[in-house]
Structure 1
Amino acid sequence: MLYIMRHGKTEWNQQHKLQGRTDIPLNDEGRKMAEAAHTEYLDVHFDVCYTSPLIRAKETAEIVLRDRNVPIITDDRLVGMSFGCYEGLANSFQIPDCPINVLFKEPASYTESVGGSETFDELFARTGSFISEVVTPTINSGKDILIVGHGAMNSAIICQIRKLEISDFWSNGIEQCKLVRLI
């Protein structure tokens, strides 16, 4: 089985700031969300957990898997999607002509980097290599995987596994600290 989870809440989530690769820790609410997930998913079997190297994802994985003998392995390919110079920007949707908004509102039209942001091609290349080099062989060996990551990065994995069009990139609504079964 393959499961995926988005990290718990951070201060920047509460302030509606674009986080991307900025290394923001969980806040108290995010830790409580992870604690609730720890309890809710105690009966779900995982052989291994792969996580983003960013602290909010690693801490979520550590809390969710506390007291379980599940190795937690960081992989740089699972880092959050870079939003370039727009990281830290609050309430981008309230800025009508903000170039990064196309990524969220019209993903099929987001074909080039804006302000140093990561493109879908770059995001899909790195998450695709993780799927082919780590996920597929591990699943084929009969092991259950948990990936703990970020909204856009998780959506890229979901799109590839479920063979979704880029226009459906955000259609899965990745809730924080909720487990999604992919395979």
Structure 2
Amino acid sequence: MADEVWLVRHGETEWSRDGRHTSTTDLPLTEPGRAVAATLRRRLADEEFSLVLTSPRERARETARLGGHPEAQVDDDLVEWDYGELEGLTTEQIRETYPGWTIWQGPVPGGESAGQVSDRLDRVVARCRATGGRVLLFGHGHCLRALAARWLELPVAEGRHLRLDTATISVLGFERDTPVVLRWNL
């Protein structure tokens, strides 16, 4: 069983900087995003991981590389929540059509439901729990927040309580046999 699961959100992209929802659009990191992601190398240097996984998206893979883990294995289940027709829009733009909208409560026309996100993230959680030692995951804001909720055995929507900034480290683990958040948004 994994002792800890370390989560790293990718560095800044133009769309994350501007508050635009980004799932399938494969954007590179901005120069400031690359610089901050490079600081992860020092922050992760003394840590050993038995398994390192990354989303297949360029922004996550580049963050893994800059953070000192170019060997990270691609796991398609770590992609960001598919925003469907809402891709590239800001929350304010989406709320013009869907007042009060959040990703956590939908709708997400043409995208993934919370149930679909939960199913694929449950596979990641199971893979982590089946691995001994520490696991390191490079991914995306909503996906990693939802993954943390599933680690805690909560519905995906409870990820709404976990703000996650770009190029931050969070750590999940256990207190005795209970899954817990050990550190968040560092």
Q: Is 2:171 the partner of 1:172?
A: no
Identical positions, percent: 27
Q: CA distance change for structure 1 residues 101 and 84 in 2, over 3 Å: closer, same or farther? A: farther
Instruction: Confirm whether residue 127 of structure 1 aligns to residue 121 of structure 2.
Output: yes
Kindly state the Cα deviation for residue 93 of structure 1 after the two structures are TM-superposed.
1.8
Bigger RCO of structures 1 and 2 (CA < 8 A, at least 6 apart) = 1
Do 2:94 and 2:101's aligned partners in 1 also have CA atoms closer than 8 Å?
no
Within 5 Å, give how 1:59-138 maps onto structure 2: 59-65=62-68, 71-89=71-89, 91-93=90-92, 96-99=95-98, 102-104=101-103, 107=104, 109-110=105-106, 113-132=107-126, 134-138=127-131
| Superposed CA RMSD | 2.0
Change (3 A) 1:52 1:71: same
Is it true that 1:158 corresponds to 2:152 in the alignment?
Answer: no
Structure with bigger strand share is 2
Alpha carbons of 1:8 and 1:103: their partners in 2 closer, same or farther (altered >3 Å)? same
Contact 1:92 1:98 in 2 (8 A): no
**Equivalent-residue separation in structure 1 for 2:137 and 2:166 (angstroms):** 13
Question: What stretches of structure 1 of length at least 5 have no aligned partner?
Answer: none
> Which residue in the other structure is 1:48 paired with?
51
User: 1: distance between equivalents of 2:99 and 2:52?
Assistant: 31
The whole-number CA distance in structure 2 between the counterparts of 1:135 and 1:170 is 22
Q: Please, which runs of 5 or more residues in structure 2 have no aligned partner?
A: 174-186
Number of residue pairs matched? 170
Superposed displacement of residue 94, structure 1? 5.1
Shift of 1:156: 1.6
TM-score (normalised: structure 1): 0.84
TM-score, with normalisation over the residues of structure 2? 0.82
